[in-house]
């Protein structure tokens, strides 16, 4: 079996993926496959997490980058390599280049998380910041390649890269031979394409489901049009899959072999990240949590056993803090309310007493006294509360209203 488009560098075959697996021996880890009791109960079938967040550099990207760079001719290696990435591919290229003794320059978006920028430099790459989204960064890296002669290492649009990512699929079949559905996040499509080639070649009955963020979902319109199309201003906190246009090479494979492409909301991504942290004890970035988000959004839609590919764990701590709070809010475990009260001694203590009775934990309190909307003797208090779920949120709101407060949620 071989698949590719007219614009492909070459078709991608099962033999390519097997060759990549041999090349990666001793370089990339066979990452763990962890069962999830909570997700299994939701789905009604065994669910396993393929933990590529525990791969070297914190994501699957090392696989494809190493295979691509290892296949360069000596004169190409001498010219160095250049790449563009929001972070995970950057780190993969940096480490692969260092292991192979090749000079690397990596372009990253200006808004890339600082930990990813620092890690890329520590792996040995020269980092240059350019553009706001990956597509702008890609253009800058390609211009650099044309100007300097450095070899451009595309994050997803090359057969060698796809073959390297496909080794995840071979490991899935080895670790969970009875798998019924593989769920994988998609940006440009390299990981999904590689997994699809490996899995479908050996087990054509396995269902492959790709997952994109709603604000950066270029595949649904592209598949409908029958060709890769660009979307305007992709927007999602899942920077690892924030890509405005599918790659030509993976698009052909995805169209032929991926059974379905789903989208998930930012709230669902937040809830999935929180679940991975609390239930699976895994630090996962939003892109890596996208398959889990798909399972949470419609658990009955997946035939088991299910393998969800947790593709990366390189999350900015600042983003993690925001996402966890967002995820808690989505689950009804975090509530922000504004309450107007009379500005007199003891008024705040009385308000907090009401919250204490209904067992709401106060995380933060902010007083506003100078807003022109307020009366002369009024104050507005903004409260951030830790709650126990939607029913508890409703109970807190009702208790405040019963006590005579005007509540704005």
- Cα angle for residues 232, 237, 241 (degrees, 5° grid): 65
- Which among 215, 155, 231, 232 has a CA at the least distance from the CA of 188? 155
Instruction: Report CA-CA distances (Å) from 289 to 6, 206, 307.
Output: 33, 21, 13
Contact criterion met (CB below 8 Å) for 46 and 193: no
Query: How is 202-215 classified by DSSP, letter by letter?
Result: H-TTSEEEEEEEGG
- Cα angle for residues 296, 134, 67 (degrees, 5° grid): 85
**E strand segments, 14-79:** 33-35, 47-51
Reduced to 3 states (helix: H, G, I; strand: E, B; else coil), residue 51 is strand
Instruction: Report CA-CA distances (Å) from 66 to 98, 148, 194, 262, 309.
Output: 10, 22, 15, 29, 20
Q: Up-side HSE of residue 370: CA atoms within 13 Å toward CB?
A: 0
Query: How is 215-266 classified by DSSP, letter by letter?
Result: GG--HHHHHHHTS----SS---S-GGG--SS--HHHHHHHHHH--EEEEE-H
Say what the pTM is.
Answer: 0.84
Quick one: CA torsion of 83, 84, 85, 90, rounded to 10 degrees? Answer: 20
Contact criterion met (CB below 8 Å) for 391 and 358: no
Contact criterion met (CB below 8 Å) for 165 and 143: no
At 343, list the tokens. 């500005």
Query: How is 264-300 classified by DSSP, letter by letter?
Result: E-HHHHHHHHHHHHHTS-----HHHHHHHHHHHH-GG
Q: Distance between alpha carbon 381 and the CA centroid of its chain, in Å?
A: 36
- Which among 211, 210, 245 has a CA at the least distance from the CA of 228? 245
Q: Which residues are catalytic?
A: 61, 311
pLDDT in tens, the chain (409 residues): 444 434 345 789 999 999 999 999 999 999 999 999 999 999 999 999 999 999 999 999 999 999 999 999 999 999 999 999 877 999 999 999 999 999 999 999 887 778 888 999 999 999 999 988 777 888 899 999 999 999 999 999 999 999 999 999 999 999 999 999 999 999 999 999 999 999 999 999 999 999 999 999 999 999 999 999 999 888 898 888 988 899 999 999 999 999 999 999 998 998 899 899 888 999 999 999 999 999 999 999 999 899 999 999 988 788 787 777 776 777 777 788 888 777 778 878 888 888 888 888 888 887 766 666 766 667 778 888 888 888 888 888 888 888 888 787 6
- Cβ-based neighbours of 88, under 8 Å, separated by 6 or more: 57, 58, 59, 60, 61, 116, 240, 312, 314
Distance, in Å, from the CA atom of 174 to the CA atom of 168, rounded to the nearest integer, reads: 10
Q: Which residue has the tokens 């689950």?
A: 331
């Amino acid at each position: 079996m071989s698949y590719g488009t007219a614009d492909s560098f070459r078709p991608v075959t099962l033999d390519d993926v097997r060759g990549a697996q041999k090349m990666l021996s001793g370089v990339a880890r066979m990452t763990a496959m962890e069962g999830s009791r909570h997700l299994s109960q939701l789905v009604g079938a065994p669910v396993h997490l393929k933990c590529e967040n525990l791969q070297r550099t914190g994501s699957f990207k090392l696989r494809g980058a190493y295979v691509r760079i290892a296949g360069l001719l000596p004169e190409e290696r001498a010219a160095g390599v250049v790449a563009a990435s929001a972070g995970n591919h950057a780190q993969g290229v940096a480490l692969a280049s260092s292991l192979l003794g090749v000079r690397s320059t990596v372009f990253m978006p200006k808004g890339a998380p600082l930990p990813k920028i620092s890690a890329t430099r520590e792996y040995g790459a020269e980092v240059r910041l350019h553009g706001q989204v990956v597509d702008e960064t890609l253009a800058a890296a390609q211009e650099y390649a044309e100007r300097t002669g450095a070899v451009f290492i595309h994050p997803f649009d090359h057969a060698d890269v796809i073959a390297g990512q496909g080794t995840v699929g071979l490991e899935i079949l080895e670790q969970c031979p009875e798998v019924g559905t593989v769920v994988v996040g998609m940006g440009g499509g390299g990981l999904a394409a590689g997994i699809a080639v490996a899995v479908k070649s050996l087990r054509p009955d396995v269902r492959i489901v790709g997952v994109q963020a709603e604000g950066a979902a270029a595949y649904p319109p592209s598949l409908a049009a029958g060709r890769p199309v660009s979307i305007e201003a992709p927007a999602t906190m899942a920077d690892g899959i924030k890509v405005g246009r599918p790659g030509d090479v993976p698009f052909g494979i995805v169209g032929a072999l991926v059974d379905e492409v789903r989208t998930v909301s930012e709230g669902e991504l937040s809830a999935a990240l929180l679940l991975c942290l609390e239930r699976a004890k895994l630090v996962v970035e939003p892109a890596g949590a996208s398959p889990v988000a798909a399972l949470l959004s419609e658990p009955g839609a997946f035939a088991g056993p299910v393998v969800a590919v947790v593709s990366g764990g390189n999350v900015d701590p600042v983003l993690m803090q925001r996402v966890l709070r967002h995820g808690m809010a989505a689950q009804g475990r975090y509530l922000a309310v504004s309450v107007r009260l009379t500005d007199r001694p003891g008024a705040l203590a009385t308000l907090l007493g009401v919250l204490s009775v209904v067992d709401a934990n106060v995380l933060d309190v902010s007083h506003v006294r100078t807003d022109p909307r307020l009366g002369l003797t009024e104050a507005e208090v903004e409260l951030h509360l830790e709650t126990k779920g939607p029913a508890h949120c409703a109970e807190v709101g009702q208790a405040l209203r019963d006590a005579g407060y005007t509540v704005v949620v």
